Amino acid sequence: GRGQEVDSALFENNVFLVGQHMMQYAVTGQPAAPMPERISSWAVYDVFSVKDGGQIFLAAVSDAQWHAFCDALGFADLRADPQLASNNDRVRARPTLLPELRRRLAAHTAEELAAVFERHGLPFAPIARPEQLFDDPHLNATGGLADISLPDGERAGQTARTTLLPLRMDGQRLPVRSDPPRLGEHTAALLADLGYAPAQVQQLRTAAAVA
């Protein structure tokens, strides 16, 4: 019946995500290699470069997902291959299986593969560049972006979208408190808060010590 402080740090969150690779080193003495060379517990758990220069992360980590993966993409020959029957078989076959999958998947765009994986309930993750996130459906649906007025530069006065803090309080996003300030916009208020009298502020402006 009492509240308590909840603390979650970004660094420790990311370390938690690589804990399995830390444990791999502790057990085997062998450091984990970067993807895709890393020793993997799953055969299909990688980033794929596909049509039109896109990239997408795709996974099929169980036998059921492997069957769904093959059925969804028309890879009947891979599903029927006895050397790929189990996850362990597919992990051992990664040196030949992954290049073959990369060759086949390169004929599809990332958007096409995302739609297929979504439709069949398979794990995937789009890989987007920062400038593509302005049109991200999830960010826009959850209110993760908000309009601001640009203060300076070639686009001064135009509206742009910025990310909001990823927090909700009472179900609401914390909104934009104010637009980014123009150069010198709050000089007088800040100097007044520091105890400068109006005449002193004017002297500083005349001397070009402040904007």
pLDDT tens sequence across 82-102:
999 999 999 999 999 999 999
Q: What is the pLDDT of residue 128?
A: 82
Please name which of 73, 53, 56 lies closest in space to residue 65, comparing C-alpha atoms: 73
| Beta strands, E only, 70-191 | 124-126, 145-149, 159-163, 168-169, 172-173
Please report, rounded to a whole number, the percentage of residues in the chain having pLDDT higher than 90: 57
Whether pLDDT at 167 is above 60: yes
For the chain, the straight-line distance linking the first and the last C-alpha, in angstroms and rounded, comes to: 53
The better pLDDT of the pair 35, 106 is held by 106
Please name which of 165, 51, 175, 151 lies closest in space to residue 109, comparing C-alpha atoms: 51
**53-58 long-range Cβ contacts below 8 angstroms, 24+ apart:** 54/109, 54/110, 54/111, 54/127, 55/110, 55/127, 56/110, 56/113, 56/114, 56/124, 56/125, 56/126, 56/127, 57/124, 57/125, 57/126, 57/127, 58/105, 58/113, 58/117, 58/122, 58/123, 58/124
Residue 188 near residue 201 (C-beta atoms within 8 A): yes
Residues in Cβ contact with 182 at an 8 Å cutoff, skipping those fewer than 6 apart: 151, 152
pLDDT winner (highest mean) among 11-15, 62-66, 131-135, 207-211: 62-66
Q: pTM surpassing 0.75? A: no
Q: Which CATH class is domain 40-126?
A: alpha beta
Please report, rounded to a whole number, the percentage of residues in the chain having pLDDT higher than 70: 97
Residue 191 near residue 201 (C-beta atoms within 8 A): yes
How far is it, in rounded angstroms, from Cα 149 to Cα 141? 21
Single-letter amino acid, residue 48: F
Q: Where are the domains of the chain?
A: 40-126, 130-164, 181-211
